[in-house]
Amino acid sequence: MKIQKRIAVLMAALCIFVTFYPPLMVKAESPVIVMIDPGHGGSNMGGQFNTLDEKNLTMVTALAMKEELEKYEGVTVYMTRYSDADVSLEQRAQAAANVKADYLISLHYNMSAEHNLYGAEVWIPSVGTEYAKGYALGNLMLDEFDTYGLFRRGVKTKVSSKGKDYYGVIRASSERGIPAVIVEHCHLDNPVDKPIYNSIENLQKFGKSDATAVAKYFGLRSDKLGVDYSGYPKQQTSVPTVAILQDMTPPERAVVTVTYNRRKEDGTLGMLIEGNDRESGIFYYSYSLDGGVSWSALYALPYGTKSVTVECKPADNIVDKRIKVRLYNGYDGMTESAPVSYT
């Protein structure tokens, strides 16, 4: 075939191609851009418990999240750091702004001063569309953690005394028009959460869960995974024009009543614990059987619950036979009850 004829055939083929396959000529829809932020790094270790450094755990989870999220179509994933480097909160937010990210997701592991708290929470921007977006994504993230049996500490805001978002990465992202959330996956220093995070596989599992929540939020689909989340329902909330503040007061009410004194046959004692917190609800309770000298671990109250009946077995050698209870709200504010004697 002469060269001209080959060109003519090629041109004809191209013409048919252009005529009959117009969809291929349409510019693809722009992908969702997600910036994953492995919390801390470099000289900033984050929480430290036993031999664990939070900065390393967040990296394991972030890499797993990226790998999982990239199995979906129509998404581009970046990370604020790819190595054990110092990156400021401003730099993290700016990295998201530079790639016009649709979301910045900052990954963390928690600890508490008294080592008594456990469970997962998501911190979100306090105002505007960023709040509404955070509310929807945060709840999807906690929904994933529910399947692990993790205690749900909620989707929350925290505002500084200056009236701005307390957490720097959220504040710096909002200033750049980027919604950001901080995911506190669980508490490193509590035995209740330990079996949930305590292996590389579990840290990676958290990353996969985070990716699934993000995929549901953006309605992504994946041929590789055989899932399609287009139209996946999200929790809607109105867009606040003024900041949603945190609960700054402890529970209004904490009362304990003895329902029955120590039984002769087995030494058990019954009590009814009641409380109330209008703003953020009662999350945990603990009790003392010796007038407040020693305390039980924290036990969870199912969300929205205001009372619980408890059976316990006081030791025989207790001198001060008085019960006290402590109730904790969604922001860990605590109220202690008046003591009640038992026999």
Q: How many Å apart are CA 95 and CA 159, to the nearest integer? A: 24
Residues 248-307 that bind Zn ion (CB under 5 A): none
If the CB atoms of residues 66 and 108 are measured against Zn ion, the closer one turns out to be: 108
If the CB atoms of residues 61 and 222 are measured against Zn ion, the closer one turns out to be: 61
The binder of Zn ion chosen from 41, 46, 154, 330 (CB under 5 A): 46
- Structure tokens that stand for 323 in this block: 């019960």
Stretch that binds Zn ion, among 42-50, 66-74, 298-306, 309-317 (CB under 5 A): 42-50
R_g of the chain computed on alpha carbons = 26
Is beta strand 32-38 parallel, antiparallel or unpaired with respect to 75-79? parallel
Q: How many Å apart are CA 276 and CA 117, to the nearest integer? A: 19
DSSP string spanning 217-283?
HHT-EETTTTEE-TT---------SS--PPP-S--SEEEEEEEEPPPTTT--EEEEEEEE-TTT-EE
Min CB(85)–Zn ion separation in Å: 16
The one-character DSSP state at 162 is T
Min CB(114)–Zn ion separation in Å: 18
- Site string (178-217) toward Zn ion, x via CB under 5 A: ----------------------------------------
Site for Zn ion contains 41 (CB under 5 A): no
Site for Zn ion contains 81 (CB under 5 A): no
Stretch that binds Zn ion, among 12-20, 37-45, 61-69, 331-339 (CB under 5 A): 37-45
The binder of Zn ion chosen from 55, 66, 81, 108 (CB under 5 A): 108
* Cβ atoms of 83 and 62 closer than 8 Å: no
Q: How many Å apart are CA 274 and CA 271, to the nearest integer? A: 10
* Cβ atoms of 272 and 233 closer than 8 Å: no
The binder of Zn ion chosen from 38, 39, 330, 333 (CB under 5 A): 39
Stretch that binds Zn ion, among 107-115, 221-229, 297-305, 322-330 (CB under 5 A): 107-115
- State the residues that interact with Zn ion by CB under 5 A: 39, 46, 108
